[in-house]
Amino acid sequence: MADWKIPQLNQEKCVVCGICVDVCPQGVLALQAEEVIFARPQECTYCGTCEESCPHGAVACSYEIGWA
């Protein structure tokens, strides 16, 4: 199990449009066998670009809120 957090991908909402794959600045996501996968999860910086770009709300980053 990876000790870094990656965004959650809801396969039921995902229509495999590939937008998140295109916009990810680190190339973490990939299309494989008609599915979006985290091909290089260790490269994910949790920037939230995939979540913001998904038109179907299929990607979600969760955050813990606290004082610095």
Partner 1 sequence: MDIDFAAIEIFRDLPADMITAIEGFSQLKLVPPDTPILWAGMECTAVYFILEGRVDITRLSIQGREQVLERLGKGEAFNLVPVFLGKPLNPADAKTIGPAELLVIGREDFLRLLDRYPVLMHALAAYLAKRLLSMVGLAERLALFPVRQHLAAFLINQADAVGEDVARYWTQEDIARRLGTVRDVVGRTLRRFEQEGLIRFQREHIQLLDREKLQSLADGRE
Q: Which DSSP string corresponds to 29-47? A: EEE-SSSEEES-GGG----
Cα separations in angstroms, 40 against 28, 43, 62: 5, 6, 19
Q: How far is the CB of 58 from partner 1 (least distance, A)?
A: 11
Q: Which of 17, 25, 3, 30 is nearest to 57 (CA)?
A: 17
DSSP character at residue 8: E
Of 31 and 53, the one with the shorter C-beta distance to partner 1 is 53
Binding site for partner 1 (CB under 8 A): 4-5, 8, 45-46, 48, 51-52, 57, 60-68
The distance of closest approach from Cβ of residue 33 to partner 1 in the complex, given in angstroms and rounded to an integer, is 25
Which is closer to partner 1, CB of 32 or CB of 48? 48
**Minimum CB separation from partner 1 for residue 68, in Å?**
4
